[in-house]
Structure 1
Amino acid sequence: MTTIERAEVLITSPGRNFVTLRITTSDGVTGLGDATLNGRELAVASYLEDHIVPLLIGRDPARIEDMWQYLYRGAYWRRGPVTMTAIAAVDTALWDIKGKVAGLPVYQLLGGRSRDGVLVYTHASGSDTEALLDDVARAQDLGYQAIRAQAAVPGIAGTYGVKKNGRYEPANSSLPEEQPWSTEDYLRFAPTYLRAVRERFGFDFHLLHDVHHRLTPIEAARFGKEVEDVRLFWMEDPTPAESQDAFRLIREHTTTPVAVGEALTSIWDVQHLITAQLIDYVRTTVVHAGGITHLRRIFDLAALYQVRSGSHGASDLSPVCQAAAIHLDTAIPNFGIQEHMGYPEQVSEVFRTGVTYADGHLHVSDAPGLGVEYDDEAAARFPYSPKYLPVARRLDGSVHDW
């Protein structure tokens, strides 16, 4: 019987930190799984090395469902981002192995194609409205049919989502950067630049906006109602999702579609949001929601309630996660959209992926498995570098949701 012979936790930082799990079978087949948790990377690495890897050796790599249940239900302490990211790494690596053994890309194992390409959205931002409009024009020139728009609130240096030096990478310091925030100023300014985008470019593309957990439910309801005229594809994370019932208040006051879930890690975290139809898009992702196996369960539940997928796809998720997401996006019937930020150039030296972009869509690789290779020599050139996500403080000094 083929068994798992080796499991390695690989850490590299080609422009940002990535944690990768590589599983090797007794037949010499390898599988890759993303285990990156931005700002808490070493917590997942330790969880894998100290608690998960010893459990894998000698087990059958083909028993993906049993392995998922063993690592989740077999542990008393469940859920949470560290645990679910570690389980996701194992699960994704095993799907990679299964595809290679079968000689098929993973999407074929998931039921085959439901679409020819995966619609993606990219990010446009600016230090002011004019700079944002220039960046939207750049994205359209690249063929994107869906664009997320963010602009810096005047006088508020901590505005979320604005690029620096051509890229947006919030984890940027060895200790958390403390950024100022004013909800009142944001609520006055954000609708003006969203309308400016529509006035300049019209309605022939999808316009998205990320609130990034910054509003209370009634503030989010007021914002969603105010921007109904710009016909957002969605407003993302309008309020913290710890209270799922908070989204009922938002839903009662606005028809602006709502997307939630990038910081949520299990089907139980989104169960009420989906079954009560309080959201339109669920943004859980492969690496933080238990891998392909568990994310498919979330999307299957969502399909029953006409909720579509919209998976998180920031550059702090490695090309291994991106490939796994595109395989799943290609197969599921209720796909909505996929985030696509791209990567620093150095990332392609470490991760070689068959995912391609054309005309606003990502296209999956037809190579067996996930279609991603990991270069150990290149990875060694990019040692781990501690980086933290920022902390937001209101102008009175109190800590706010980032």
Structure 2
Amino acid sequence: MKITEIDVFVSCPGRNFVTVRVRTDEGLTGFGDATLNGRELAVAAYLREHVAPCLIGRDPFRSEDIWHYLYRGAYWRRGPVTMAAIAGIDTALWDIKAKAAGMPLYQLLGGAARDKVLCYTHAQGREISEAVDAMGARLDQGYSAVRVQVGIPGLANVYGTGANTVTNTAADNALPPEETWSTAKYLPRIPQLFDALRAAHGDEVHLLHDSHHRLTPIEAARLGRDLEPYRLFWLEDMVPAENQEGFRLIRQHTTTPLAVGEVFNTIWDAKLLIEEQLIDYIRATCVHAGGPTALRRIMDFAGLHHVRTGCHGAADMSPICLGANLHLDLWAPNFGIQEYSGYTDEMLSVFPHAWRFADGYLHPGDAPGHGVEFDETEAAKHPYQRAFLPVNRLEDGTLWHW
């Protein structure tokens, strides 16, 4: 079997997605997600101009060799653009391999380690009372794990509480929106939120929260300690993770479980965190961490150190990424939880899928491959629109971490 064609599509059914299609001379086709939110065209150009020409004629079954060819062979390794491009190809190759075998991808990985995949969704409110009600609505939908965010008095457009976190208005010359942040206002607010959530909804539900890289290690340690009475499932992305050693200080001061890794590109981004057991959950995801080949290695390495998985699953990754994640989730011995923020009908019309949700759990389905297809005709109805994630500033104007 040989690769005969590689196509790259950028479509915007509500969000921009980069989709890779790999075709073979035996009629099998695989699909991969290569979306990098806010930098979609950079990945698309990397794939079209630098990757696709090098792979025509190669054996798609040699996915391990192709992964290293794209990683080591580029010399300039790692980085979000490179790894998203590799992920798109790698996911498509695993899709082809499983389709050729006539089985779902999780069977090629070693089979299911569980019957279904626990997932969490999002709830939010400008006020604490709104967040409490929003979480109640999620529980009514069958979820047993909910990430809850709340507005901060005196701050507009706080992460996780607005109606939209991207701009998709190319006609209006869209540029990154700017938000304002104050850690001093945030820190006392969050324990108040979780006190109200436990009082309203009891102790059985799993509660999660995302600080979105905003804190210093000592601030994160303080918040983790303040939240200990509320027994969070995890506290996520407390600090910018470039300095992995910073987690040592956090770990010394709190027993609140810690999660990080949605922006990680390789195992090297998490090596110290995992080896020293400074985190409890690794949040790397297929599209950003180099595809199933690389993510499986991260999961295995984490499992050796009592770290569980918690794959990123926001709507800025396509349903293909979620499908691939779910096959790994079903297999991984050290699985923890899967994020699932959901997709619109418009998005799902472009990506017919076999995965399913019921009663707070997901399952990848048993279709051959990773179970997610791509409707090129439907995608053509939704052309790319320039879009950006926000940027963040402190109240004095200093650019901060978004």
Shorter chain as normaliser: what TM range? over 0.9
Matched, 1:388 2:366: no
Query: What is the TM-score of this pair, normalised by structure 1?
Result: 0.98
Matched, 1:249 2:249: yes
The equivalent of 1:3 in structure 2 is 2
User: How do residues 1-400 of structure 1 correspond to structure 2 at under 5 angstroms?
Assistant: 2-164=1-163, 168-172=164-168, 174-400=174-400
Distance in 1 (CA, whole Å) between partners of 2:386 and 2:122 is 25
Q: In structure 2, do the counterparts of structure 1 residues 162 and 139 end up closer, same or farther at CA, with 3 Å as the change threshold?
A: same
2:129 partner letter: E
1:327 partner letter: H
1:98 partner letter: K
Distance in 2 (CA, whole Å) between partners of 1:279 and 1:224 is 13
**Match of 1:373, SS?**
coil
**Match of 2:184, SS?**
helix
Whether the 8 Å contact between 1:39 and 1:171 is mirrored in structure 2 is no
Distance in 2 (CA, whole Å) between partners of 1:250 and 1:170 is 31
Distance in 1 (CA, whole Å) between partners of 2:281 and 2:168 is 29
- Deviation readout 1:263-289 (Å, 9 max, x if unpaired): 111001100000000000000000000
Pairwise CA RMSD of aligned residues? 0.8
Distance in 1 (CA, whole Å) between partners of 2:396 and 2:15 is 32
Whether the 8 Å contact between 2:356 and 2:364 is mirrored in structure 1 is yes
Q: Work out the percentage of aligned pairs sharing the same amino acid.
A: 57
1:385 partner letter: Q
1:7 partner letter: I
Distance in 1 (CA, whole Å) between partners of 2:130 and 2:326 is 31
Distance in 2 (CA, whole Å) between partners of 1:265 and 1:394 is 28
Whether the 8 Å contact between 1:14 and 1:382 is mirrored in structure 2 is yes
Whether the 8 Å contact between 1:158 and 1:392 is mirrored in structure 2 is no
Whether the 8 Å contact between 1:172 and 1:389 is mirrored in structure 2 is no
CA drift of 1:349 comes to: 1.2
Distance in 2 (CA, whole Å) between partners of 1:169 and 1:358 is 27
Whether the 8 Å contact between 2:167 and 2:175 is mirrored in structure 1 is no
CA drift of 1:172 comes to: 4.9
Whether the 8 Å contact between 2:352 and 2:373 is mirrored in structure 1 is yes
Whether the 8 Å contact between 2:168 and 2:385 is mirrored in structure 1 is no
Distance in 2 (CA, whole Å) between partners of 1:336 and 1:170 is 29
Query: What is the TM-score of this pair, normalised by structure 2?
Result: 0.98
Whether the 8 Å contact between 1:35 and 1:287 is mirrored in structure 2 is yes
CA drift of 1:344 comes to: 1.7
Give the ranges of 4+ consecutive aligned residues of structure 1 lying more than 3 Å apart after TM superposition: 168-173
**Match of 2:121, SS?**
strand
Distance in 2 (CA, whole Å) between partners of 1:230 and 1:170 is 32
1:202 partner letter: G
Distance in 1 (CA, whole Å) between partners of 2:23 and 2:195 is 52
**Match of 1:367, SS?**
coil
Distance in 2 (CA, whole Å) between partners of 1:224 and 1:372 is 38
2:349 partner letter: E
Gapped regions of structure 2 (runs ≥ 5): none
Gapped regions of structure 1 (runs ≥ 5): none
Whether the 8 Å contact between 1:105 and 1:370 is mirrored in structure 2 is yes
